[in-house]
């Protein structure tokens, strides 16, 4: 059961392919450096000065625009219009605002420039991900010791996806945005961080032993949990997240949600 259509999944798969080759192009641009004041309660992204190459970001945005125009020819006009606007200062701003999750900025930009509301943020978001994924890879070891809950320790995305891995079914959380992964006690709530088995509810789906929803009675947070032994073994986190969107809907219908970071810009 899936609520996303085949065309959308195909588009996302093509974008993922591009992102993985773009990420290879920046392997040598991003180096590990000691964090001067490491704060394990704050996403890594907020503690470092990520240097993004604007020419590369620009070329990735253009590639995404081309892909979208190919898939949906009706978008070509808007893409041509946007191309004219992609000057350096705009791209620098896009990088800054997409990292800060500033949805307001992108909605406003789209309105002012009279393009479809989803397009600017979609382009910026997909073009920044190679950097976020490279960052998560370079700092993989550090990220396992972060103590914050509710959001990804690397990029700040709300937590919503986990896998049970290995013989014992260890709970490993995955960020579908930057691919950071970290382990957590099964009985611990990924949102409020309190370990209280009596407050955790494990919802099983009818006819599907591979997926569960872990919901917390205290903070009303939820996480989609995939049993690795059963299914989706080789799917990457972004695809897994998309293919389990019906679980997000189910959780939300039942009154559960994912944390939105407190200091996100509005």
**Binding positions for Zn ion, 113-172, rule CB under 5 A:** 152, 154-155, 157
Between 79 and 128, name the residue whose CB sits nearer to Zn ion: 128
Q: Least distance (Å) from Zn ion to the CB of residue 94?
A: 19
Residue with tokens 């260890």: 170
Helix (H) or strand (E) holding 225: strand 222-227
Between 109 and 174, name the residue whose CB sits nearer to Zn ion: 174
Between 117 and 197, name the residue whose CB sits nearer to Zn ion: 197
Q: Under the criterion CB under 5 A, does residue 44 sit at the interface with Zn ion?
A: no
Between 26 and 75, name the residue whose CB sits nearer to Zn ion: 26
Residue with tokens 């986190």: 237
How many residues of this chain bind Zn ion (CB under 5 A)? 15
Taking CB under 5 A as the binding criterion, the range among 20-28, 111-119, 189-197, 225-233 that sits at the site for Zn ion is: 189-197
Concatenating the DSSP letter of every residue in 18-62 gives HHHHHHHHTTTT------TT--TTS-GGGTS-----HHHHHHHHH
- Using DSSP, state whether 230 is helix, strand or coil: coil
Is residue 43 within 8 A of residue 148, CB to CB? The reply is yes
Is residue 70 within 8 A of residue 18, CB to CB? The reply is no
Q: Least distance (Å) from Zn ion to the CB of residue 121?
A: 17
* Nearest one of 183, 209, 187, 184 to 200, comparing CA atoms: 187
Between 64 and 175, name the residue whose CB sits nearer to Zn ion: 175
131 vs 246: CA distance, rounded Å: 29
Helix (H) or strand (E) holding 198: none
Residue with tokens 């891995």: 165
Q: Least distance (Å) from Zn ion to the CB of residue 237?
A: 9
Residue with tokens 């990420």: 23
Residue with tokens 């949102």: 191
Window 210-229: contact mask with Zn ion (x via CB under 5 A): ------x-xx-x--------
Q: Which two tokens stand for residue 106?
A: 């992108």
Q: Least distance (Å) from Zn ion to the CB of residue 165?
A: 18
- Using DSSP, state whether 227 is helix, strand or coil: strand
Q: Least distance (Å) from Zn ion to the CB of residue 111?
A: 28
Q: Least distance (Å) from Zn ion to the CB of residue 119?
A: 23
Q: Under the criterion CB under 5 A, does residue 79 sit at the interface with Zn ion?
A: no
Between 78 and 184, name the residue whose CB sits nearer to Zn ion: 184
**Binding positions for Zn ion, 169-188, rule CB under 5 A:** 175, 177-178, 180
Between 120 and 221, name the residue whose CB sits nearer to Zn ion: 221
Binding positions for Zn ion, rule: CB under 5 A: 152, 154-155, 157, 175, 177-178, 180, 189, 191-192, 216, 218-219, 221
């Amino acid at each position: 059961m899936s609520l996303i259509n085949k065309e959308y999944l195909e588009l996302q798969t093509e974008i993922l392919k591009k992102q993985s080759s773009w990420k290879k192009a920046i392997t040598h641009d991003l180096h590990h450096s000691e964090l001067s004041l490491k704060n394990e309660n704050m996403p890594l992204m907020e503690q470092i000065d990520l240097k993004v190459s604007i020419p590369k970001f620009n070329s990735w945005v253009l590639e995404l625009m081309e892909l979208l125009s190919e898939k949906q020819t009706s978008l070509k006009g808007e893409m041509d219009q946007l191309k004219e606007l992609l000057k350096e200062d705009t791209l620098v701003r896009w990088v800054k605002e997409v990292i800060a999750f500033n949805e307001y900025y992108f909605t406003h930009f789209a309105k002012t420039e009279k393009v479809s509301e989803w397009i600017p943020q979609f382009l910026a978001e997909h073009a920044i991900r190679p950097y976020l994924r490279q960052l998560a890879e370079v700092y993989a070891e550090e990220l396992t010791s972060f103590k914050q809950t509710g959001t990804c320790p690397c990029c700040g995305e709300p937590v919503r996806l986990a896998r049970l891995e290995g013989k014992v079914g260890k709970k490993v959380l995955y960020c579908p945005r930057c691919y950071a992964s970290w382990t957590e006690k099964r009985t611990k709530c990924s949102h409020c961080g309190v370990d209280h088995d009596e407050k955790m509810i494990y919802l099983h789906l009818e006819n599907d032993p591979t997926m569960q929803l872990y919901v917390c009675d205290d903070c009303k947070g939820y996480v989609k949990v995939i049993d690795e032994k059963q299914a989706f073994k080789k799917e990457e986190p972004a695809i897994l997240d998309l293919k389990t969107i019906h679980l997000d809907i189910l959780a939300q219908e039942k009154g559960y949600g994912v944390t939105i970071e407190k200091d996100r810009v509005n």
